[in-house]
Structure 1
Amino acid sequence: MPHNESDRRPAIEQRTIEVIPDAERHGTPLSQFTLWFGANMQITAIVDGALAVVFGADALWAIIGLLLGNVLGGIVMALHSAQGPRLGLPQMISSRAQFGVYGAVLPLLLVIVMYLGFAATGTVLAGQAVNKILHIDNPTVGILIFGAITAVVAVTGYRLIHVIGRIATVVGVLGFTYLGIRLFLEYDVSAVIGAKSFDAVTFVLAVSLGAGWQLTFGPYVADYSRYLPRHTSERATFWATFAGSVIGSQWSMTLGALVAAVAGKKFLGNQVGFIGDLAGPSMVALLIYLVIVTGKLTVNCLNAYGGFMSILTSVTAFTGRSTTSALARGGYIVGFTAVSMLIAIAASADFLDNFKNFVLTLLMVFTPWSAINLIDYYLISRERIDIPALYNPDARYGRWNRTALTAYLLGVLSQIPFLAQKLYTGPITTLLGGADISWLVGILVTAALYYPLARRTPNTPTQMIYPPNFLPDSATSQPHSRT
């Protein structure tokens, strides 16, 4: 069903992993700002910001480190988003150009695990907020209710997800501004700013937490810019995505760092409850719980939607299909959401520590993937992709790309000596006093391996190749706007 700009109803989405035709493109880069701002104004980002202080950083240095990490990771994340209008494809379908049609499944499996992990941890916190609203003590009830709402929105698809993002932007600004004011009224925040001296280890942890937060959006960020008109400026798409994600996440993480600094153990054992208590009167607390649910709903729908797209991309690599039925699409999303709810119900009580290790572990597997995807797209292929070949293992990109897969695996392995994890601390990390710089090592090693090898053996068409009958011949040869 074609979507015209005048038709803004959240009709059930029909497209899946195929390229989006020009006739169905709509929206402006502003939609990327509101989506990513709303998705980051949420309770899990507050927890992420709190972690740096919980594990020893001074509040001021934690906020600076988180900002640096958000900016660095946000640049990478937004460069992925800028691919969306040009290609009209989900992010992980386009990665077949680097890894091969079958080879792209390897990072895809890790992406699916990531979605499940974030969906589960987010559902735990959102479920607590639902329980507070309904005055129910059984955590399973809140998890099930929130999971059901997530499935409905994700099944409806792209348009409704963007609507929820706009709502989350407005209520997030209002709710988080109010919480910030309450925090300064209830606690002596100035007393915890600069109370500790600079510590390199905890500062690097804060940078890694901010960067990791942004980098984990990379595998699905273009899923939400692929409906933008093909002539949309890459620069505008980049900056709208970057600003929305970095400002939203930094705002939330700053609040988290300050809350952890002034509240300590009061926050650690009861994150959602503490935020509700901070809100004050019960009616206002109820509204804040609704803010928490709205923000978590936005990002959890991204996880369910992205999880479905990743599973379908993995399956179709071997079946050769580029579409699926609406019934199958709904089944994938419901199944994914159900699994994430089961994980949430069984989640460990040691939430903060497990979440820190989860985020930092994801950094290890996604920084090499981002490096390969961006280097190939912007420096090797120079934004020229043979789209039909992405669905055919016997075409240009083949089944496996040994160069990309080798660089990817070595990029992951190179980080092991630099890890600082609960279960393992690398020998070089010990020499550095515990500072985890593994994600930087992963980017540099992967880039150093992949770029010279891929440049010697390019597999690039002379211009973008779209599916037959997708565009008029004259449109195919038009230069792409970068302004």
Structure 2
Amino acid sequence: MATSTDSEVTGRSSGALETRGIEPVPLDERTGRPSQLFWVWFAANISILGLPLGATLVAVQGLTVWQAVLVAAVGSVGSFAIVGAVSIAGRRGGAPGLTLSRAVFGARGNIGPTAVSLISRLGWETVNTTTAAFALLSLATILFGTSPVAKQHPVLTVVCIAVFELCTVLVSGLGHAVLVAVQRWATWVFGLLNLIVGGFLIATISWAAVASARPAPVGAMLAGVGVIAAGTGIGWANASADIARYQARGVRAGALVLSAAAGAGIPLVLLISLGSMLAAGDPTLAAAGDPVAAIRAMLPSWMAVPYLLAAFGGLLLSNHLSVYSAGLTTLTLGLRMPRVYAVVVDVVVTFLGSIYFILVADGFYTPFIAFISMLAVPITAWVGVFSCDMLRRRDYDPVALMDTGRTSGYWYLAGIRPAAVIAWAVAIVVGYLFTTAGPSDGAWFTGSLADTWLGRNGLGWVITFVIAFGGYAALGGTRSAAVAGSTAAPK
């Protein structure tokens, strides 16, 4: 029998350190409450990356501020409602999302979705780390008078990256219990700092520009919803069960959806709306190579230190959750090591990626937008298949989840479940036909149907979801899901 390592199968929490890997959490240890998830999602979304996202809605999509506020609400709250819905599987099965995905795609068929998820997590962590390093470099400029240009101080830049990564490992490496506690209490500290900084940023808004802007067509608003959804909730959907696996079995599904939608939606709507207001008078924020420095320039000089601390803290809280999830996804992909070592491996990868973005690459934000546009398609395809499967599946076989060999109850056909893999692959191909990634004057990728109404309005991810969900159902996925986990432990 091909199973995970002993550290994964027998892992438990030892004091503050969570030694459990990807194996399902026993029922007697599932005592979590939705309020815990509210704070986890709130903390993960108070980073300053929401400001340039809001700026994009005005400067690139051409929306008015009031349209941007509506788009922010629909895109962020709606996409995190999907995150909450997917987290229901974590409560049911007690295992990480991509581990549960083995029941849907098969022991081997799940490798593709898991690899995409890991790339997504590593990409977001690189974005967080790069932005946080910019914040520390700006802080060094204030304290030591160094140049804010990273390439002029490569050693200092590497030190800044290392400091952020070390702070991340201290929490993500310890695991679930520490993560939940830190996310809750740190939210109050860094949330308050963000409110103070936001108050000063509001004073710089050009209200005349806000009032004089002309409304954009509905199509531009739909495209904006796609940008916000791809840049916020969609990227977290395949990580949602990782934290929800500790939720009590009696927790209502609606409470999980609400905790994610409200927890993430409140800070995101505020930050994205503020970013759109700032861009109404100064659209350069949307294209800033260093968004940290661009926002700092809008503040009084004496506010620089509180602002940079708020920026660093918000990014750190987001990275805690992302790295924790990436560690579990790495184990699901097949690396045989304790969970804490998997966290270290992921951090090393993002450390090197951040060095590239800061010291080698010429731009930052444009690659970021292209990155989330491209990964939104396969992730949305996975969400479509997985959520359709959830309609009938109520339990997961804990033994089959950990067995990736021929004896697994989720081996299906040569380790692959055709209905799921085919629906996922077809949805990706169709989704990319409607996708454009990169700047309008030099796109890196343009699908053959990107110039259609659906493509121009950024609705490729919606098409992807419909194809994945409908294709899986049409191929009989939901019918087989009702019996695929028949050997699961009782509720």
Q: In structure 1, what is the Cα distance between the partners aligned to 2:481 and 2:226?
A: 34
Any stretches of 5+ residues in structure 2 without a counterpart?
1-10, 438-442
In the alignment, which of 222, 226, 229 is matched to residue 248 of structure 2? 229
- Pair 34,438 (structure 1): closer, same or farther in 2 beyond 3 Å: same
Q: TM-score, normalised by structure 2?
A: 0.86
1:390 aligns with 2:401: yes
Letter in 2 for 1:380: R
Q: In structure 2, what is the Cα distance between the partners aligned to 1:405 and 1:28?
A: 34
Any stretches of 5+ residues in structure 1 without a counterpart?
4-8, 317-323, 468-475, 478-483
**How far off is 1:442 after superposition?**
0.4
Contact preservation (8 Å) 1:74, 1:214: yes
**Which position in structure 2 is the counterpart of 1:439?**
461
Deviates more, 1:158-167 or 1:129-138: 129-138
Q: How does 1:22-171 map to 2 (within 5 A)?
A: 22-58=27-63, 59-135=65-141, 137=148, 138=153, 139-171=157-189
**Which position in structure 2 is the counterpart of 1:257?**
276
**Which position in structure 1 is the counterpart of 2:450?**
429
- Pair 287,465 (structure 1): closer, same or farther in 2 beyond 3 Å: farther
Q: In structure 2, what is the Cα distance between the partners aligned to 1:10 and 1:142?
A: 30
CA deviation string 1:340-393 (max 9, x = no partner):
01111111332221111111111111111001111101x232x13222212224
Q: In structure 2, what is the Cα distance between the partners aligned to 1:64 and 1:79?
A: 22
**How far off is 1:188 after superposition?**
2.3
Deviates more, 1:196-205 or 1:431-440: 196-205
Q: In structure 2, what is the Cα distance between the partners aligned to 1:220 and 1:170?
A: 24
CA deviation string 1:211-269 (max 9, x = no partner):
11201101111111111222222222221122102222222211222222222226724
Contact preservation (8 Å) 1:371, 1:443: yes
**Which position in structure 2 is the counterpart of 1:472?**
none
**Which position in structure 2 is the counterpart of 1:320?**
none
**Which position in structure 2 is the counterpart of 1:368?**
381
Question: Runs of 4+ in structure 1 displaced over 6 angstroms?
Answer: none
Contact preservation (8 Å) 1:51, 1:352: no
Q: In structure 2, what is the Cα distance between the partners aligned to 1:349 and 1:205?
A: 27
In the alignment, which of 435, 444, 452 is matched to residue 419 of structure 1? 435
In the alignment, which of 291, 308, 318 is matched to residue 310 of structure 2? 291
Calculate percent identity across the aligned residue pairs: 24
1:338 aligns with 2:348: yes
Deviates more, 1:388-397 or 1:185-194: 185-194
Q: In structure 1, what is the Cα distance between the partners aligned to 2:486 and 2:477?
A: 18
- Pair 462,220 (structure 1): closer, same or farther in 2 beyond 3 Å: closer
Q: TM-score, normalised by structure 1?
A: 0.87
Letter in 1 for 2:196: Y
Q: In structure 1, what is the Cα distance between the partners aligned to 2:67 and 2:460?
A: 20
Q: How does 1:264-343 map to 2 (within 5 A)?
A: 264-265=283-284, 268-282=288-302, 284-315=303-334, 328-343=338-353
Letter in 2 for 1:205: A
**How far off is 1:179 after superposition?**
3.0
- Pair 459,466 (structure 1): closer, same or farther in 2 beyond 3 Å: closer
Contact preservation (8 Å) 1:46, 1:257: yes
**Which position in structure 2 is the counterpart of 1:176?**
194
CA RMSD of aligned residues (A): 2.4
Q: In structure 1, what is the Cα distance between the partners aligned to 2:15 and 2:320?
A: 14
Q: In structure 2, what is the Cα distance between the partners aligned to 1:200 and 1:368?
A: 25
**Which position in structure 2 is the counterpart of 1:206?**
224
Deviates more, 1:367-376 or 1:159-168: 159-168
**Which position in structure 1 is the counterpart of 2:426?**
410
1:380 aligns with 2:401: no
In the alignment, which of 360, 368, 372 is matched to residue 355 of structure 1? 368
- Pair 464,66 (structure 1): closer, same or farther in 2 beyond 3 Å: farther
The number of equivalent residue pairs is: 452
- Pair 163,189 (structure 1): closer, same or farther in 2 beyond 3 Å: farther
Contact preservation (8 Å) 1:380, 1:455: no
- Pair 269,412 (structure 1): closer, same or farther in 2 beyond 3 Å: closer
- Pair 360,168 (structure 1): closer, same or farther in 2 beyond 3 Å: farther
Q: In structure 2, what is the Cα distance between the partners aligned to 1:164 and 1:203?
A: 36
